[in-house]
Structures are given as structure tokens and as C-alpha cells.
Amino acid sequence: MCTTLEKLEVLDRETGMMLDELTYEVRQLFPEDKIPVSLMTTIYLSAKLNYPLQLAAAMNEIPNPDLRNYVMNMKFDEVDGQSLTPLTMAAIAGNISYVKTLLAQYDIDMEKECNVVFDGLVVYGATALWVASGLGHLQVVKLLVQSGADVNHNTKAQSSPLRAACYAGRLDIVKYLIEHGADINLGNKYNNTCIMIAAYKGHEHVVYTLLKNGANPNDQALCGATALHYAAECGHLEVCRLLLDHGARLLANEHGLTPVLSAAERTHEQLVDFFIERPDLMKKDEIINALELLGASFANDKDNYSIEKAFQHLMRAMELRYAEQDRTLRKQCTPPVTAYDEWFETQNIQELQAIRLNHHSIHMEALTIRERILGRNNPDLPQPIVYRGAVMADHGRFAQCQILWNYAMDLRIMTNVSVERDLLRFAQLFSQILRLENENLNLDQVLSVLVKCQQEIERNNEKINNPGPKDVPQMIADHNEQNITTALYLIKIITKILPKQVQISKSQVDLLYSTIKKFIKSDTRMSDGQTLLHLAVNGVTPVDLFYTNDVCKFPCLRTAVLLVYLGASVMAIDNGQNTPLHTLVSKLPRDNSSLAQAGKCLKVLVEAGAHLDAVNAQGLTPSKLCRNGVLSHLILNYQNSLTSLKCLASRCVVANGVPYKGLVPKILEPYIQIHSSDKFKV
């Protein structure tokens, strides 16, 4: 075997298990061949590391030709989410001789669908041809096509090999696939076509080739966007010119935005001027809207902020409104918005000129204009509002920041957009306020965000259980992970400010209690099974580093007490069958800075009914998990004084394997299970 293979150490556990399972599968189908795990391991590593000679040698140890072909078409699951056949591995590497060897010596299924990591994301259902096309391996593409690979075999998301080549900007592969029958107008599951992705990436020559071969520049994706939208929002001027020269029109997407408005919203001023100056393309009112949106976006753009350019383009638009005395185009203003200081847009040149040196007024003018042109349902509307709020927070204007951020979050909720970052942002802001001396944080402010956090988790759970056409359940689940952590931060912050509140109303208490009870009643958990109570006593609970880590430290006694008081189960178990008590004693901070808090939390859990002799999946009690002498001593004292006869009897039943299900009163079964590592198997 080659040196590199000899140097490989023991495979990681997941890969080893995968190879064991595949070997078992092969033995079930071909019982007489008795292929060993070591041979399957060699086959996998040779294929993975692109060693065709070593692979051939390993395959020669299998005398059964049917088994050889079967193994060569097997998919090997990897820890990063990939699931690859040897052919796909060869296609990823672009090893033409390796591909030739596989196709020549084995009966390879070239249409076998695999899962591959492409540009950081897992693509499901990709063939070897799709992979070679997307990674730019022309010779491999040619060999596969000449060997009969289907040029229009799409992925699960309906992405074709041609689309993959267009994304990569490989003009040579694009031309070859088109010459061999690739469908250039085939859209993916969002009806996003090849010309759209090429325009988005700015691949001018690919766009030109697609147009020359019949691609329709006015095809619209499900969201209503055309290739011109994608080119415009990314600022690709020459691609926009090319599309317009081939008949592209300024169509509106589902949010009512034309390509020129998309360019203006992204502050691409050269591109906006290009559209404006193109003869017979835009009407006067369309030009005014584009200039106003361009100026308004410059006033509140995080990356391209320019108050000078903002005023310049707003004035250009205003002057155009009044360019013809007998045909003045007055603004159709919307009602003032509280978050924008009840700002009412300037109506003429004089009014606009009057606020030129007042930056705050221009900022509010710009936010108001953006809302009028984009509309409240546009998902691009909130981000500049968030940016303006962040700037205010940086200047200590926390009240105004909260008003803007709450409004931005409400807009996102209204349009069914995830708000996990908005919620975390509030936790960071509240932590920042608490850090500063003499800064008071109002309970109502935090409580309103906690309510929205609970509602967001509830909405996300509904999406996970009943996903819509645009919902990605795993992504939503990831968002909920953050939301649960944010909820913990917010509850922790509330426990810090409650003692400082001069007066707390019954309605505030009722809202706080009812919201936390909703978390508990819905059994809110992380993916590893941890409840809020687990997290509250977990000394290594991840804490955001942006201000939050100065305020939110765990384990936290007050948070644990509040959760237990409102009904959080002290016997809830995570995926490792750890109770909160297991978590508390086994997850202390390394510096033992919270040892006193941990001791008090232990007392709270025990007095609330936590079983000291409950075992986790490894059969360990909290005392056996504990590595801290102080806590171990506390547990021992409690064990000596609190262990009941019922607990002792349950441990005896479990230790001796005595059958009990259906033989003892139903109410006792879960009690006995607490003391067993086979909680779900009895």
C-alpha cells in the first residue's frame, strides 16, 4: 500500500461505523464472498485519495464480478454530509485517467445521485457529470458525456450540469454541454434559469453564449426576478448592457421592484445612471423613484454610507419633480411612522435644502422614502433601519435604538422572515445597557422581546412540522437553537433587573410568568435535548461575546429558581439522559468561578425533587459525574439524608434486571425508569 495510506491513523468513529455498515450490507447481499472490513476500508481510502492503482489492486481481491460492480457503485457517507461513489470522487478530483479506469473496468452507473459539498453547501442528488461541470473539469465532462452521461440529469433542487458550469463561469464547459443537448432554459426548483445564475455571478461571456443559443432574458423566477434583476443587484453593468441589447425589459419582481430599483437599493450609482441615460428605457416618474431610492439607501447603508451622495441624489430627484412648472410631479407621501420620529417627507427644493446640514433629518427622510418606494412587505426594508439603530446605540441613544429595532423586527415578522439575529441583537443591547453605570433598563423593554422570542420559536416549530415550499426545516431548526439561547439570555437579564425595579405591576408579573410557562409547556429544547433549566445550570452554556458574556454567566441561581418555580422539570433528560443535576455537576466553568452559584443551584434542584441516584445513558449518577470536591461533599450529604426507600427499591429492581413493566402500578414505571440507563427500552 502507498506511503500516504500507511500514514493514515485510525479512522474517525463515524467513518469507521459507516464502513462497518457497508461491509455488513455487502455480506448480506453476497454472503459467500465474505468481504472483510479492512478491504472495504482500503477501497474507500484508495478512492477517496485518488489512488487508482491501489484501488485496482484492492478490487482484484474480489473474485466475484457482480460484487466488484456493486462495490464500485456504492455510496460512502462522510462526516461533512457528502455521500460519494468512487466515480464522483474521481470527478471531484478531476482525475481523467482515474475516471477512464473506472469506466473501462467496471459497470459504472453514471447517473448515480450523490450528495456533494459545493461552495460550502451540500448539494443533494448530484451526478458525476454535475460535479465535474461545477468544478470545471472539462476533460472529465467530455469523457462522461461521450460515455453516455445524461446532460440534463438534475439534482434534487433541479439544478442541471449546465447550471453548475454557468455558476462557475466555465465557458468551455457551457459550450460543450449546449452542443451536446443541454437545455439552456431549464430552471431549478425556484425556476431560476442558467442565464440568471450567470448574470448574478457576472459571467458576461457565459451570458452572451446563452443568449446566442436562445436563452430568454425575460424569463422570471418564482420570485419574479429576471436575469437583469440579478445582474443589477450585483452591480454588473456590462452584463446589464448585454441583456438590454438582447431585449431584456424592466419587469417588476414579486415585491414590485424593477432592475433599476434593485440597483438603487444596493447603492450602485453608476448602474443607476446607466439605466437612466439609456434612451427610451425609463419614464420620468421611474427615474425620480430610482434617484430617491438611491439617495435614501446611501443615507443608511452600512457598507456604502455617504450623507453627501444621499443629499446629492435626493436633490436630483427633487429638481426633476419640479423641472416642468406645468407638469410638477408631487410626492404621494405615506402616513408618518413613529420609529422615524413621525417624520414627514420634504415636499419641495426649499424644504430639502433646509435639512442639508442636519444629518439626523436626512436619515429620517431617507428611511421614510425607502418605506414609501419599497413598501413595508419588502424584505430589504428592515436592514438599514437596524443599521441606523446600531449607530444610535453607539452614541448612547438606547431608547431610539430600541424603537427602530423593534420596528425592524415587527416588519420582518410581518413578512414571515426569520428574526433570530434581531432577537440576539436585543440581548446584546440590553447587556450593553446593564454594563453602563446609571443606565436603567425597563422590565417592559426586555419582556416585550422575550414574548416575541417565544412566539418566534412557536412559529418556527410550526414551520418545521409543516414546511412551506420555501422553508428549509434544518435551517429553521438551527435558527431555533439560537432563539432558545437568546431566550435564556433574556430571562437571565430579567432576573438581574427585577430587584432594581421600583414598582412591578401585576400585569408585568402575569406576562412574565405566562411567557416562561409557554416555553416550559411546549418542552422547548436544544437539538441535544437540553431544556432551559439544563442551560441555566450549565457552566459551559455558550454565551455570545458581544457584551452578553459580561452579564450572562452560568450556572445562574436566579434563572434556575425562576424556571423551577414556574414548573420546569428537574427530572427532564437530554439526549444523553442527563438530568439538570447531571449537567450542573459535570459542566462547571474551568476556573470554578461559579462554584458558589453551583452549590446553591444544587440545593434548589434537590429540594425541588431531583433524584440524586438517577442515572444517565452511561449508567452514571450525578455523584459519579462530579469532579469537584465541594459539590461531591454536598451531594453525599443529601444522599445520606434524602434517599428514600422507593429509590433504593427501584435501584434494586434495575440492578438485578427484574421485569417490572406491566407488573407494577403504572405510576411506578417512570419512577423505576429514572434509575435505569435503558429509560426508553423497558
- pLDDT (tens digit per residue) in 200-222: 999 999 999 999 999 999 999 99
Show the domain range for 449: 418-643
For β-strands 121-126 and 83-84, DSSP reports them as unpaired
Nearest residue to 210 (alpha-carbon basis) of 246, 258, 263: 246
Residue 403: its pLDDT value, please?
97
pLDDT, tens digit, 9 for 90 and up, residues 452-496 = 999 999 999 999 999 888 788 889 999 999 999 999 999 999 999
* β-pair partners for 253: none
SS3 121: strand
Is residue 482 one of the residues assigned to a domain?
A: yes
**What does the angle CA 643 – CA 606 – CA 570 come to, to the nearest 5 degrees?**
115
In a domain, 99, yes or no: no
Distance, CA of 463 to CA of 417 (rounded, Å): 12
- Helix residue spans in 522-621 (DSSP H): 532-536, 548-551, 557-565, 580-586, 595-607
Any residues with CB less than 8 A from the CB of 327 and at least 6 apart, and which?
A: none
Using 50, 70 and 90 to split pLDDT, how confident is the model at 5?
Answer: very low
Q: Write a three-state SS string for 122-184.
A: EEEEECHHHHHHHHCCHHHHHHHHHCCCCCCCCCCCCCCHHHHHHHHCCHHHHHHHHHCCCCC
Residue 544 pLDDT > 50: yes
Identify the band that residue 2 occupies on the pLDDT scale cut at 50, 70 and 90. very low
Please return the burial class of 601, using the count of CB atoms within 10 Å of its CB with bins 0-12, 13-18 and 19+: buried
pLDDT at 458: 96
CA–CA gap between residue 682 and residue 246 (Å, rounded) = 70
CA atoms within 13 A on the CB side of 680: 7
Q: What's the one-letter identity of residue 532?
A: L
Measured between alpha carbons, how far apart are the two ends of the chain, in Å?
A: 48
Determine the average pLDDT of the residues in 154-183: 97
Q: State the average pLDDT for the chain.
A: 91
Taking residues 226-235, what's their average pLDDT? 98
- Cell numbers that stand for 358 in this block: 442636519
What are the φ and ψ backbone dihedral angles of 391, each rounded to 5 degrees? -60, -40
Number of domains the chain contains: 1
Which amino acid would we find at residue 545? L
Query: Is residue 438 pLDDT above 60, yes or no?
Result: no
Higher pLDDT, 251 or 500: 251
Task: Determine the angle formed by the axes of helices 161-168 and 171-179, rounding to 10 degrees.
Answer: 160
pLDDT of residue 246: 98
CATH of the domain at 429: 1.25.40.20
pLDDT for residue 594: 80
pLDDT at res. 681: 34
Parallel/antiparallel/unpaired status of strands 121-126 and 114-118: antiparallel
**Residue 676 confidence class, pLDDT cut points 50, 70, 90:** low
Helix axis angle for 382-394 and 398-414, nearest 10°, is 160
What percent of the chain clears pLDDT 90, i.e. is strictly above it? 71
Write down the pLDDT at residue 228: 99
Instruction: Look at residue 609 in the predicted model and tell me its pLDDT.
Output: 87
Question: Measured between alpha carbons, how far is 262 from 597 in angstroms, rounded to an integer?
Answer: 53
**Residue range 648-670: mean pLDDT, rounded:** 65
Q: Can you tell me the mean pLDDT for 55-61?
A: 90
Cβ(300)–Cβ(387) under 8 Å?
Answer: yes
Residue 333 falls inside a structural domain: no
Amino acid at 358: N
Task: Give domain status of residue 433, yes or no.
Answer: yes
Q: Give the residue-averaged pLDDT of 651-674.
A: 65
Classify 326 as helix, strand or coil. helix
Q: What's the confidence (pLDDT) of residue 437? A: 62
- Of residues 40 and 666, which shows the higher confidence score? 40
Which residue type does 355 have? I
Question: Does a structural domain hold residue 545?
Answer: yes
- Nearest in space to 453 (alpha carbons), one of 416, 412, 424, 495: 424
For the cut 80, the answer to whether the pLDDT of residue 502 exceeds it is no
Q: Are 427 and 482 a contacting pair, CB within 8 Å?
A: no
Is residue 292 in some structural domain? no
Q: Tell the burial category of 429 from Cβ atoms under 10 Å away from its Cβ (0-12, 13-18, 19+).
A: buried
494 inside domain: yes
For position 680, what pLDDT does the model report? 39
Question: Which residues in 388-461 belong to E strands, given as ranges?
Answer: none
Strand partners, 118: 121
The DSSP call for residue 531 is: B
Residue 135 belongs to some domain of the structure: no
Which of 154-168, 387-401, 415-429, 435-449 shows the lowest mean pLDDT across its residues? 435-449
Residue whose entry in the numeric block shows the C-alpha cell 452560568: 554
**Residue 102: all three cell numbers together:** 473506472
- Nearest residue to 486 (alpha-carbon basis) of 548, 534, 441: 548
pLDDT at 350 over 70: yes
Question: What pLDDT is recorded for position 469?
Answer: 80
Give the pLDDT mean for 184-208: 96
649 — pLDDT class (breaks 50, 70, 90): low
* 300-335 pLDDT tens trace: 999 999 999 999 999 999 999 999 888 889 998 889
Give me the count of residues in the chain: 682
> Taking residues 636-641, what's their average pLDDT?
73
Alpha-carbon 64 to chain mean position: 46
